[in-house]
Amino acid sequence: HRDTRRSLTLTAAPAPGERAPAAMGLPETPVEFQAATLPSGVLYTRLNIFIAPNIVMPAFSQAVGSALNAPGVIIDLRGNPGGIGLMAMGMAGWFIDQQGVNLGTLKARGINLNFFVNPRAQPFPGKVAVLVDELSMSTSEIL
């Protein structure tokens, strides 16, 4: 019932993920990268924000590199507000084997920053799905 009063006790808990130090005008931020193999053999990955490349890039490379025989990869960027755009170039390199593929151009304050794919020597050959929603922005859109 709407008029019934209830008492709740809430306990604050830290956000999941490894803490990335303050950078790019953001405070210390939890970075959460997840990777799991689904029952179908598809690799599912999820990233909450594109910061802390020293945390994310090795984990992403390990996950995709160990799943080269998987039938597909899912990259879940739903709710990801973006971050360091250059990370998209390295991540896309796992899925595109051609040099010079342009992911787009960021135009800001009279500067053009082109995002080109950095292909891997042995890219993932299967299907790729990128999940986005209305909160996927910036680097999520680049990738």
- pLDDT score of 101: 92
- pLDDT score of 18: 74
- pLDDT score of 30: 86
Q: What is the pLDDT of residues 57-85, one digit of tens each?
A: 999 999 999 999 999 999 999 999 999 98
Tokens of 87: 């990370």
- pLDDT score of 46: 98
Mention every residue, 6+ apart, whose C-beta is less than 8 A from residue 61. 94
Parts of the chain with a pLDDT under 50 = none
